[in-house]
Amino acid sequence: MDLIPEPRRADFRPGAPRLRLGPATTSAAGPGTEGVAGWLRRELGAATGFAFPEAAPGARGDVRLALDAGLAGEEYRLVIAGDGVELAGGSAAGVFWGAQTLRQLLGPDAYRRAPLPGRVWELPHGVVDDGPRFGWRGMMLDVARHFMPKDGVLRYIDLLAAHKLNVLHLHLTDDQGWRVEIKRHPRLTEVGAWRPRSRWGHRASPLWNETPHGGHYTQDDIREIVAYAAQRHVRVVPEIDVPGHSQAAIAAYPELGNTDVVDTAALGVWDDWGVSENVLAPSEAVLRFYEGVFEELLELFPAEVSPFVHVGGDECPKAQWRASAAAQARIRELGLDGEDGLQSWFIRHFDRWLAERGRRLIGWDEILEGGLAPGAAVSSWRGYAGGVAAAEAGHDVVMCPQEHVYLDHRQAAGPDEPMPIGYVRTLADVYRFEPVPPTLSPEAAAHVLGAQANLWTEVTENQSRVDYQAFPRLAAFAEVVWSRLPEPAKRDAEAFEARMAGHYARLDALGVDYRPPGGPSPRQRRPGVRGRPIEGEPPIV
């Protein structure tokens, strides 16, 4: 079967009669599975036109959902036979992942929003026993550089769930925009959510899009996103960047910046790409400001659905702190080891602050600089080294090395890739990504929570471009983090690509504007718009 991700065990009986579903097909939801049953009725009901009503009291039902204490939390067992479908999971999440497999088995048209004429809905007789390799199977979506409206975020939650991915990391703030409403600081979105124009292409491009760009999510939008994700067993991890990547916040509230070396009142939201030199001032007032931000954020992202809070901590230029008398006095007052120690002081403060409120801090691997906060977890993006160091020191790690799973990077070396960025990483390359380096000791390997694919949006300006960069590679990534694959050198990328032939039809039904296997269509190209590296520029290292 062309199931993606590949299940642990799937035994089908090709010669056996198939189970046909129809208008009279009923469903029965055991205790704890009612939410999954509702999802099945909505999604399969839309595609098939069948209501899948609850079986009458005392009746067995044709599609039966249940919890099974003998299965681990996200494990499931799917049995299809002549008397119907039995779907059991170790938790509601396990049942939900089994329901995703059931939907795949019904064929691509099970992903449509209205029934097509003449369709027959049948399932093969067989058994699927399955469960994930990792508990953290994520995607980071940058909505700060280019804003994705709420409906697009909800759509991506559905796409993640369809691939059994369970974490959406939302990059909500950066130099180029602030995307979440904070009621006690309204200028963060009134001012910080808008920039006058955007660079068109990589920062070396001479082209500009002169249309003002912006937008933000209201607090009720965020509540809706979090609740929608929770119904689909996806956790949403918010990211608020400190102390770097903060020019949008400083543009809104100039007192947050290093006012003794920069006229922060003259700053606007940054209209270019790269890393801005404008970083937060290391003052108690700035800490109090961001504590207020995080207080509102914690209310929007309840601990039971989002225990982790991402604080960025990456790419923090130190030039302003070196020039600032106030920052240097702060270093002496706190007895810190220079500017790196100041960055660590920021992160350690919020590590303690979040821990006191029952949350866990996670940040990019730069938070290792100057000493890692005791309870912090690390998103290892600059290769594996940061993740290895953190795991060996007993810290939890999410592996997301840019050389392997940055989906904004180009998919081929040819000139037709739209605004090509970074390394060439093909579908087969992503399929051979291994989240646990072989050098890790068994004890350290246990600290690898999983992995995520990251998609930055500097040159990914709308939903179609996000689709193009994400798919089909996100499907390969999903199999890597769900399935128990052999070591990378022994993985059969050709067999995976053969299974993708069937999966493309599912993506078509879902309306995903993926990169075709033969290369971009003419409308997907961006001729004449520079990417990186460009001619004469050294390769990225």
Taking CA atoms, 467 is separated from 3, 145, 204, 395, 438, in Å, by 21, 16, 24, 33, 32
Reading the block at residue 128, the tokens are 């699927």
The values of phi and psi at residue 265, to 5°, are -65, -20
Dihedral of alpha carbons 313, 316, 321, 322, sign: positive
Reading the block at residue 181, the tokens are 């409403």
Reading the block at residue 430, the tokens are 């992503």
Annotated catalytic residue within 163, 233, 245, 447: 245
Q: Is 315 an annotated catalytic residue? A: yes
Q: Are 297 and 240 in contact (CB under 8 A)?
A: yes
Q: Which of these, 46, 66, 44, 64, lies nearest to 54 by C-alpha position?
A: 64
Q: Which of these, 493, 362, 379, 393, lies nearest to 435 by C-alpha position?
A: 379
Q: Is 174 helix (H, G, I), strand (E, B) or coil?
A: strand
Reading the block at residue 270, the tokens are 């940054």
Q: Is 174 an annotated catalytic residue? A: yes
Q: Are 179 and 217 in contact (CB under 8 A)?
A: yes
Whether cis (ω within 30° of 0) applies to the bond prior to 31 is: no
d(Cα 208, Cα 199) in Å, to the nearest integer? 5
d(Cα 393, Cα 122) in Å, to the nearest integer? 52
d(Cα 326, Cα 259) in Å, to the nearest integer? 9
Q: Long-range pairs for 107-111 at CB < 8 Å and ≥24 separation?
A: 108/502, 108/505, 108/506, 108/508, 108/509, 109/47, 109/509, 110/43, 110/44, 110/47, 110/48, 110/509, 111/47, 111/162, 111/506, 111/509, 111/510
Annotated catalytic residue within 130, 174, 365, 417: 174
Reading the block at residue 349, the tokens are 């403060």
Q: Is 434 an annotated catalytic residue? A: no
Query: Angle at Cα 368 formed by Cα 254 and Cα 479, nearest 5°?
Result: 105
d(Cα 86, Cα 27) in Å, to the nearest integer? 10
Q: Are 29 and 54 in contact (CB under 8 A)?
A: yes
Q: Which of these, 353, 238, 237, lies nearest to 291 by C-alpha position?
A: 353
d(Cα 207, Cα 200) in Å, to the nearest integer? 5
Annotated catalytic residue within 315, 340, 369, 416: 315
How many residues are given for the chain?
541
Whether cis (ω within 30° of 0) applies to the bond prior to 238 is: no
d(Cα 161, Cα 11) in Å, to the nearest integer? 23
Residue 403, classified by CB atoms within 10 Å of its CB into exposed (0-12), middle (13-18) or buried (19+), is middle
Task: Tell how far CA 179 is from the center of its chain.
Answer: 16
Residues known to be catalytic:
174, 245, 315
